[in-house]
Amino acid sequence: MIKGLDHVGVVYKDFSKVVENIKDLYGMPKITIVEAIVEINTNIKELTKPLKIKLGFARFGETMIELFEPLDENSIYSEFLESIPEGGIHHVGILVENIDEELEKWDSRGIKRIISGILPTNRFVYYDTREMFAYVTELLDNVPPPKI
């Protein structure tokens, strides 16, 4: 079951000016910025594993804007910038109650998985919904994965 919209993921070659504009125009006093290396699963051999990215997080009530700046040339984010050099909305993050049930439903409909991964706070899967919605859909839960 879908719980709600978690975030909108926006990709830029360099998001430093965007951060200043968000602070100024939206009145956001703080935007958290981190560089991260994220282990991913993918069947797309051209994609760099792990992902190396710079991230910015700005929370607006219950929804977050996630800013992405790729730090390598072979990622889904750098691929996006090849087609849209100025950057823009890449994906919408949807929080789900039971990610396993949702994955089964989405997979059964033939929607292609792009990447998936496990973070300390959740699991996520990107689905290629660009033909349906003009953006990628990320399904995520907010339950830490079990420790093995």
Q: CATH code at 136?
A: 3.10.180.10
- Structural domain span for residue 73: 2-140
Q: What is the pLDDT of the chain when averaged over all its residues? A: 90
pLDDT at 29: 79
**Entry pTM:** 0.88
- What is the mean predicted confidence (pLDDT) over 5-20? 95
Band (49; pLDDT cuts 50, 70, 90): confident
Q: Are 118 and 145 in contact (CB under 8 A)?
A: yes
**pLDDT band, residue 38 (cuts 50/70/90):** confident
Contacts of 93 (CB under 8 A, 6+ apart): 5, 6, 7, 8, 9, 66, 124, 138, 140
Instruction: Establish if 147 belongs to a structural domain.
Output: no
Whether 148 shows a pLDDT value over 50: the answer reads no
Query: What pLDDT does residue 74 have?
Result: 82
Q: Give the model's confidence band at 144: pLDDT under 50 very low, under 70 low, under 90 confident, else very high.
A: low
Query: Domain for residue 145, yes or no?
Result: no
Q: Whole-angstrom Cα distance, residue 69 to residue 127? A: 20
Number of domains in the chain: 1
Q: What is the mean pLDDT of residues 57-74?
A: 90
- pLDDT for the residue numbered 66: 94
In a domain, 59, yes or no: yes
The confidence score (pLDDT) of residue 147 equals 54
Is 10 a member of any domain? Answer: yes
Residue 50 in domain: yes
Domain membership of residue 128 (yes or no) is yes
pLDDT at 37: 87
Residue 146 lies in a domain: no
Residue range 82-140, pLDDT digits in tens: 999 999 999 999 999 999 999 999 999 999 999 998 887 888 999 999 999 999 999 99
